[in-house]
Amino acid sequence: MEARCLTIDWDRTQVLQHFANRGTDKKSDCESSRRHQSIFRWRDFLRPEFPRPVRIPRTAILTILERQSRRENHFALYARDPAGPVLLHRRTSLTQRGRHFWVSIPASVPIRGPSGCSILVMSRRARLEEEKLRQLNEELEEEENRIKAQKERIYAPVVWKRLGSGIRIQDLKPVYYDQVLQIIEECYFQEEVLCRNSNLAEDPESIKSFLNVVMFNLKDRTSIIALDEPNEDAIAGFLILKAIHKDDFGSVFSRVFHVEGEAHKKCIAFVNHLARKADVFTELDCNIFLRYVLLCIRPEYRKKGLGFQLMLAAVDVARSLSIPVVMGILSCWTLQKLAKRIGMKVVVHEINYVEWRDRFNELIFDEPGQGNYTCAVMAGVVPPPPAPEPPPKTSEEKVKITREEKRKIKAKKKKKETAA
């Protein structure tokens, strides 16, 4: 009777398949081997009736098959599939001969699995353990995905506003810090009044010192940024903000940094003079305010009202942080005009550029630009949030009718009936 046998090679995790005809000569076995040359070769045989046994360590057997005291045990035969084991035969005989194991399967069982995979011998207990392990891995993966989604929601930036042009205003996250510093160096130094007149862009020490101060303010985590969504979230502009507490503010507040470079020292001296003269806490009776430190819009996004939208979104930031006052040291007429539109109507202190001179009585800011005559410290109270819209009416209100009106309605109906 023809029987098919399998020799299991646990070291290479594959199965050598063979048709063995008991009691036949070597010629028939050789012809059979030619038909299945892709699966086995003649050197795999030691005797005509049996395949060549493969030496396998007992430790490899014990890891997959349960070690039994009896020489013959019945196992379920499965095919190894990426989606999981596929049952081929429920009752398969496993025989141990010396140190080697043999598996006999009936001729009705296909030689290869449903997806062309190799045949695997697996006990019921091992199969259940493998299914349990796969289920645990799936549950673990689902839990990891859920935790990852929660972290993304927690650390996701707050979107303050979306504009019709595809601009999204959101929190300025650390991932954008390097790009922000690069844009300041490329666009801000050449156009801001104080930086341009002090030639800060030509002084490497001043540039480094200025960017260090900017990085310190960015770490306050209150700044906002405008991103162009249609253009792969390219940076359109940003507004650096910083919350100033009354206990932290003083005459030396802006001088705690190690300022380097002559150009940066000129700018810091001018800003410190304004900060000492302007007492926002006393003027507006507050203990904290949100300062507009630096506003920068890239050239291709200017003249679209983006600066005003950023300053307006900063008011929402102050409101969300329960900060009652916003304040800014505004060096040009354009920013002063925008500040008045968002509610900064209180001019705490103002100084003309022509009045600011060095020790030799020479102008420091001799070319402020057209219309830029003063640098002003402006502040304003954060308005309360807008009232929520009333909920839509689900049902029409019933109109109350008096008894007299009901009588008149009945009388009209009677007249119509009599006329008809």
Dump pLDDT digits (tens) for 273-320.
888 888 889 889 999 999 999 999 999 999 899 999 999 999 999 999
- List the one residue out of 217, 346, 338, 376 whose CA is nearest residue 282: 346
Structural contact between residues 75 and 65, judged by C-beta atoms closer than 8 angstroms: yes
Residue 144 pLDDT: 92
pLDDT one-digit tens code per residue, 371-386: 888 899 999 999 888 7
Structural contact between residues 188 and 294, judged by C-beta atoms closer than 8 angstroms: yes
Structural contact between residues 290 and 315, judged by C-beta atoms closer than 8 angstroms: no
What band does 243 get if pLDDT is binned at 50, 70 and 90?
very high
Structural contact between residues 335 and 327, judged by C-beta atoms closer than 8 angstroms: no
Please state which of the four CATH numbers 3.40.630.30, 3.30.1130.10, 1.10.3720.10, 3.20.20.70 is assigned to the domain occupying 157-381: 3.40.630.30
Residue 66 pLDDT: 36
pLDDT at residue 227 tops 90: yes
pLDDT one-digit tens code per residue, 385-407: 877 777 776 655 566 788 888 88
What band does 39 get if pLDDT is binned at 50, 70 and 90?
very low
Residue 249 pLDDT: 60
pLDDT one-digit tens code per residue, 309-350: 999 999 999 999 999 999 999 989 999 999 999 988 888 888
Local structure of 174: helix, strand or coil: helix
Domain spans of the chain, in order of start: 3-122, 157-381
Local structure of 303: helix, strand or coil: coil
Residue 102 pLDDT: 53
The count of other CB atoms within 10 Å of the CB of residue 336 is: 20
Distance CA(289)–CA(44), nearest Å, equals 86
Sign of CA dihedral 39, 43, 44, 46: positive
Predicted structure pTM score: 0.59
- Tell me the mean pLDDT in the region 224-247: 92
Local structure of 55: helix, strand or coil: coil
What percent of the chain is modeled with pLDDT above 70? 65
For the chain, the average pLDDT equals 73
